[in-house]
Chains A and B, each alone.
Chain A
Amino acid sequence: AQSVTQPDIHITVSEGASLELRCNYSYGATPYLFWYVQSPGQGLQLLLKYFSGDTLVQGIKGFEAEFKRSQSSFNLRKPSVHWSDAAEYFCAVGEDSSYKLIFGSGTRLLVRP
């Protein structure tokens, strides 16, 4: 069965510092991979997605993620964090034969001024 692990429950970074949020998945074939962001009390917004091809994908708000098959990872990165990036981030995996996404438990990002 598919699973998604986000090992960091909370991460705190200073504004302007770089960010990397970790995501590991368990899936036999090539998965479809997603990162979503959720501001407090709001729905989820899609940041970026990977289906195939170039393993480095660019998303909105200056985020990028890299698919590493050998490590079963899809880590989210941003070179310089802004205070408005404080939110909860969810990694998700889907597959060709399903309508469903499996979500990780989320990582809450706090940004120090």
Chain B
Amino acid sequence: SQTIHQWPATLVQPVGSPLSLECTVEGTSNPNLYWYRQAAGRGLQLLFYSVGIGQISSEVPQNLSASRPQDRQFILSSKKLLLSDSGFYLCAWSNSGSRFAKNIQYFGAGTRLSVL
């Protein structure tokens, strides 16, 4: 069966420091991958998605970037964190194979980022 892993679960970083959050998927190949941010008490904001290695689509201009160095690995990065980058970051995947399956997203447990 497929599983998705995100780490770390919690992160406290000072303003201006770099960021690297990692997400990996097991048990499938060529998944679609997604990064979301969820601010406190808010819905989900799609940040990036990827349909293949090296293919990244950005949804919102911001201080963050994403990379997909391997088929099942998705990394969210920042060179210098801002206070406004605080939030709950969620990685998700979907199956690229079929018309319906590509719309079903499965989420990781999330990373709570606090920028101080």
Contacts and interface: CB of A to CB of B under 8 A. Distances in A.
B49 A41 contact: no
Interface of B: 6, 32, 42-44, 46, 49, 51, 59, 88, 90, 92, 94, 99-100, 102-110, 112
A68 B113 CA distance: 39
Most buried by A among B32, B49, B104: B104
Nearest to B32: A99
Given A43-B110, A99-B32, A104 B103 contact: no
8 contacts: A41-B110, A42-B109, A44-B92, A46-B104, A46-B105, A51-B100, A95-B103, A104-B43
A32 B103 CA distance: 8
B110 A42 contact: yes
A91 to B, nearest CB: 10
A105 interface: yes
A39 to B, nearest CB: 10
Interface of A: 32, 34, 36, 41-46, 49, 51, 90, 94-96, 98-101, 103-106
B100 A32 contact: yes
A105 B43 contact: yes
Contacts of B92: 44
Contact of B102 (A41, A99, A106): A99
